[in-house]
Amino acid sequence: MSDAFGELLLAHHAGADVYEVYEREDGFLDVIGDASAYFGEYADWSAIQQQAMGWVTGRVLDVGVGAGRFALHLQTKGHSVVGIDVSPGALEVCRQRGVTDVRSLPFHHIDGSLGVFDTILMMGNNFGLFATPQRARWLLRRLRGLTSPDARIVAESLDVYTTDRPEHLAYHRRNQAQGRLAGELRIRIRYRQHIGDWMPYLMVSQAELAQIVDGTGWHISEILASANSQYIAVLEK
């Protein structure tokens, strides 16, 4: 496995100007943007990301911790935060930046050894780490047993149906013809000579989110909507 994501975070942390490229399974390539977004302070975040912090309580599991921007903010507010990621480079950046507890762990491998959490945080479109609707439902049920009675999941996603770009609409049709949701992606990250492994990544509309959550023991308590396709869902038991 080439840790393309970690390499770009390490390079930016060392002072380089770097850009992240993602590749989709149909050959589509796009520059996501400057890696500085992963290091942004609270003042640099979107309005809904700032609002989402008001829903965070108690002990936090930051899923896909990245460079630690949310974990660091929550630490300053007195929260105990465990950050998990599969990128060695990302975890090293977190340690260098002062995130106190980070673990190398895929989301679907979490178990009771991590302890009990009050908030599961999935920011920066990290609802996508549920990977597929089937795995999402399985993991949501699993998370019920790893969280406190009043726990919340605070998760950011993007509604792919808002696009009018032909290359995206063609990919949506391809997915749907295969019995998948339009936003069931298979992508990998590229940075210079580094190419990451292919990974499933799930982006859903609010209606699809409601269908996935139904029957898992969680319900949608709040939707923090933006002026574009981004939104953050707050799930409660």
**pLDDT at residue 1 tops 70:** no
- Which of 33, 58, 47 lies closest to 116 in space, CA to CA? 58
pLDDT band at 32, cuts 50/70/90?
Answer: confident
pLDDT band at 112, cuts 50/70/90?
Answer: very high
Instruction: Give mean pLDDT, residues 113-130.
Output: 97
- Cα of first residue to Cα of last residue in the chain, in angstroms, is 37
Instruction: Give mean pLDDT, residues 83-93.
Output: 98
Instruction: Give mean pLDDT, residues 124-144.
Output: 97
CB burial of 34-56 (b: ≥16 within 10 Å; e: otherwise) equals: ebebbbbeeeebbebbeebbebb
Helix boundaries (H) for 25-147: 47-52, 69-76, 88-97, 133-144
| Mean pLDDT estimate for the chain | 96
- Please tell me the predicted confidence (pLDDT) of residue 175: 97
Task: In whole angstroms, give the CA distance from residue 54 to residue 221.
Answer: 14
pLDDT in tens, 35-63: 999 999 999 999 999 999 999 999 999 99
Q: By the 8 A CB rule, do 176 and 182 touch? A: yes
- Please tell me the predicted confidence (pLDDT) of residue 93: 98
* SS3 at position 197: coil
Give the homologous superfamily in CATH for domain 44-181+202-236.
Answer: Vaccinia Virus protein VP39 (3.40.50.150)
* Domain locations in the chain as residue ranges: 44-181+202-236
* Residue 217 backbone phi and psi in degrees, to 5: 95, 5
For the record, the structure tokens of 171 come out as 């990919």
- Which of 83, 123, 75 lies closest to 103 in space, CA to CA? 83
pLDDT in tens, 181-201: 999 999 999 999 999 999 999
